[in-house]
Amino acid sequence: MDREITGLSSMATRQLLAELCGRLRSDRGTAVRFESAGGVEVVRRVREGAAADLLVLSEDALAALEREGHLAAGTLRPLWVSQVVAAVPNGSPAPALDSAADLRAALLAARRIAYSTGPSGTALVDLTARLGLADVLAPRLVQAPPGVPAGSLLASGAADLAFQQHSELMDLPGVTVVGPLPGDTAISTTFSGAVLTASTEPARAARVLGLLGSDEASAAARAKGMRPA
């Protein structure tokens, strides 16, 4: 019997990959399992020689790992694009986000602003600088620990506005998603996949990666707040 194909991913794609792995097991008899953690933690584990077959991370993280020789040649492929959205605690008034001016007003009105580690968090901090608000907002920014949804800080009362990937906020208890950022303030992340050079089953892993990029998988991605890359 073929062994289980294993993968590592960041938290943003955790629910989607769990659903797709379930479908592969039930529909095709292909046993696949992903372990998800904060993207920074996953990159560290790969660099330290983690035993796995597949990797799904932001395109920037995978590009760095490819340069370092951790990815099997020719296997890197974009999979899904996820937008960063704003969210507030359930029951709180939802700020308007129709323009950059609206976003600026929402940021200035917030007492504590939660954001995540990884590319979306870095992009948000860069955005506050572009809006000329870096200095005034710096004391209000609260970064969630790696692997912890920024929205959980809304539910606990530690923040009153949060920004993170839609897939990580859309089903979180105690959280209301307001919507994506407007116009040229929009932030999106492309998540890509690749076979690890550490894989002992590279051909089977490559076939699984192809299934993750299929039309069927794209439909599941849309239901999780993403779109095909």
What structural domains and CATH numbers belong to the chain?
5-80+190-228 (3.40.190.10), 81-185 (3.40.190.10)
Q: How far is residue 125's CA from residue 113's CA, in Å, rounded to a whole number?
A: 11
Q: Please name the helix (run of DSSP H) or strand (run of DSSP E) that holds residue 155, with its range, or none.
A: helix 152-155
Cβ contact 65:192 at 8 Å: no
- Residues forming beta bridges with residue 89, ordered by sequence position: 175
Residues 101-114 have a mean pLDDT of 97
What is the structure's pLDDT at 118?
A: 77
DSSP state for residue 71 in the 8-state scheme = B
Q: In 3D, which of 5, 8, 23 has the Cα closest to residue 218?
A: 23
Region 24-44 average pLDDT: 91
Global pTM value:
0.85
Averaged pLDDT for residues 91-112: 96
The arithmetic mean of pLDDT across residues 23-39, rounded, is 91
**What pLDDT score was predicted for residue 53?**
98
- Summary mean pLDDT of the chain: 93
Looking at residue 94, the DSSP 8-state letter turns out to be: P
pLDDT value at position 171? 84
Sorting pLDDT into bands at 50, 70 and 90, what band is 68? very high
For 121-143, the pLDDT digits (tens) are 899 999 999 999 999 999 999 99
Whether the pLDDT of residue 1 is over 70: the answer is no
Question: How high is the pLDDT of residue 56?
Answer: 97
Mean pLDDT for the stretch of residues 154-173? 91
Element (H, E) at 59: helix 59-67
214: helix, strand or coil: coil
Q: Which residues contact 44 (CB under 8 A, 6 or more apart)?
A: none
The whole-number pLDDT of residue 225 equals: 86
Q: In sequence order, what are the beta bridge partners of 35?
A: 8
Q: How many CB atoms lie within 10 A of CB 197?
A: 16
